[in-house]
Amino acid sequence: MCKSLREFVRDENDEVIISYGQVVREERFFCAVLFHLLISDLGFLDSFLKKCGVLEVDLSEVRVFIEYAMARDLWNSMEGHENVNHNRVLFLKEYVPSLKEYIPKDFNSDSIREFNQRLVAGPSLSNRFIQSPGCWSMEKVESLILGGECEVEGACMLKWAFNIKPDIVIEYSNNHAVCIEAKVESDEDMYKFENRYKITAKQTEVQKFLMKKILGYETKHVFLRNSNKESRRGSNEKELCLSWTEVFPAKTNGILNVDENPMVKMAKKRLLKISGGK
């Protein structure tokens, strides 16, 4: 019988690996552990919000979400409302004014499909609904734009904002939120569209556009990273930087004792290992 891959890897005690937790590097795992603590322990939630600069809040009104795809799901929910296509194009032309030249006079199956065909990448064209900017081909969109680089950049940001999903978002009032971008070993992603113009944006810039422009939240942005990770981020960044060791304390004063939760202990141990600790 062939050896399993686990048998080729040894832990610090020269024992065969028995759990994914001994080698995990996946950021979504650590985000899931953080999410669990945030929704299960009000003491932890309150402490974390204070670290983010949120000092006064009604914890019973706080909502916590992982893989935050609100723009996508708001767009989808419009399908149950009257004048869905009219409202969608009204929204789109706020960001890409040149599109007003192509808005159908009557929203029938042919005109809807034709409008989508001008913008959408690939063969999946709807003849019922105006499709999300997350589906756009930027080459197609750029060919329609008359407003120059500024409008192309707006169209890019709109597309990217509909596709980005912040790791964790905490809505702490109806119009205020904390948006968390979490990294363990990787660097912050960059978005690029290089055709007639060279349009680039950092991941956190797209998140700021999403939260402020698209969704209308006043947002505190938090960049969560390993304490020993060399960051390529400039000193003029406006979002708060926290380390994982700051986020996972030894104990909390709420319902859950962090040290008694085996998955939290596993995550803390692994993060320490990744950061070069013992």
The pLDDT tens digits for 160-182 are: 999 999 999 999 999 999 999 99
Mean pLDDT in residue range 140-166: 95
In the chain, domain spans? 1-68+165-278, 82-162
Please state which of the ranges 34-43, 156-165, 196-205, 225-234 shows the lowest mean pLDDT.
225-234
Handedness of CA 101, 103, 106, 110 (dihedral sign): positive
Cα within 13 Å of Cα(162), Cβ side: 19
Long-range contacts, stretch 251-256, CB < 8 angstroms, 24+ apart: 252/37, 252/41, 252/43, 252/44, 252/47, 253/43, 253/47, 254/41, 254/42, 254/43, 254/44, 254/45, 254/46, 255/40, 255/41, 255/42, 255/43, 256/37, 256/40, 256/41, 256/44
- What's the whole-model pTM score? 0.89
**Lowest mean pLDDT, pick from 108-117, 208-217, 248-257, 260-269:** 248-257
